[in-house]
Amino acid sequence: MSSLRGIALKIASVVLFVVMASLIKAASDEVPVGEAVFFRSFLALPVIIGWLVLRGELATGLRTRRPGMHIVRGLVGSSAMGLNFAALGLLPLPEVTALGYAAPLMTVIFAAMLLGEKVRIFRLSAVIVGLVGVLIVLWPRLTLDTVEGAAMLGVICVLASAVFRALVQIHIRRMVQTEQVAAVVFYFTVTTTVLSLFTAPFGWVMPETGTLWMLIAAGLIGGVAQICITSAYRGAEAALLAPFDYASILFAIVIGYVFFGEVPTLAMLAGSAIVIASGIAIILRERYLGLQRMRARPTMTPHG
């Protein structure tokens, strides 16, 4: 039953994150990126604090052994968020979502480079296939006779965001060895809120009423989505939940078409399918190897 609850929470988080992204995209013509990051982070704080209070984990969320690690996580994570928000203002929502799938592939590469994890031929092959899928999504942008500067800037932003997100995942793997999940969630939100304030001198604006409500909703929804995904991983295995991340493309296509008039291209759909297939192959393979390792462990037998 806990696995089903975990899956439901994971899907809920995926839907909420796509809705949040669509609200940020809708506000992007009027509001600078740094200001959008502030609203997303600051308004998520009361939601997260309330959640920690209800769970009796506020003290845990405030306790840390390695404050420097939280600052680094905040710097890298806020960079990823800002770049992704910038891309949302320059590219269609489904395309930003599809290119964002490069992050798990890059995580595999960085895990080998920075953590010394062994990458077998199957996983390496799947990563290469996935990167080919990313290239297929990008191909129309690379082969246009007249390349749109804004669109290419959006591509650069979303790919850079994927790199930073992959680095965040590697950093979190180190953090959870000494830090509680509640602390990771809380201090990331605090750090991102503070860092976003440094962008205020670069042109923050007073949003119109409709835009202001969209930003408020984006922050609150982002906080609820963060709680959903954290709760999901407490109730089910990561390998079981990870494939549901790719459901975001379906919601992005629907929202992009209905609210922004964005029609997905054949290249985007084909490339996304390849990236998703490679990502799921890696997840399933790692789950299989994990089960094999568990079965190979010697069982303790009583003596005497």
297, with CB counted inside 10 A (0-12, 13-18, 19+), is exposed
One pLDDT digit (tens) per residue for the chain, 304 residues: 478 888 899 999 999 999 999 999 999 999 999 999 999 999 999 999 999 899 888 887 788 888 999 999 999 999 999 999 999 999 999 999 999 999 999 988 888 888 887 888 888 899 999 999 999 998 888 766 555 678 889 999 999 999 999 999 899 888 888 888 888 889 999 999 999 999 999 989 999 999 999 999 999 999 999 999 888 887 777 777 888 999 999 999 999 999 999 999 999 999 999 999 999 998 888 777 666 767 776 554 444 4
Domain annotation covers residue 184: yes
pTM for this structure?
Answer: 0.91
Residues 241 and 9: their CA atoms lie apart, in Å, by 10
Q: Domain span at residue 74?
A: 2-296
Token look-up 């790719």 returns 246
Q: How many domains does the chain have?
A: 1
The secondary structure of residue 176, as a DSSP letter, is T
Tokens of 84: 């992704």
Domain annotation covers residue 303: no
Token look-up 């010697």 returns 298
Domain annotation covers residue 253: yes
Residue 150's pLDDT is what? Answer: 81
Contact 97, 20 (CB under 8 A): no
Residue 249's pLDDT is what? Answer: 95
Residue 293's pLDDT is what? Answer: 67
Residue 304's pLDDT is what? Answer: 40
Domain annotation covers residue 201: yes
Domain annotation covers residue 171: yes
Residue 8's pLDDT is what? Answer: 92
Residue 55's pLDDT is what? Answer: 86
Domain annotation covers residue 301: no
Contacts of 141 (CB under 8 A, 6+ apart): 147, 148, 151, 152, 155
Domain annotation covers residue 304: no
SS (H, E, C) 87-130: HHCCCCHHHHHHHHCHHHHHHHHHHHHHCCCCCCHHHHHHHHHH
Domain annotation covers residue 109: yes
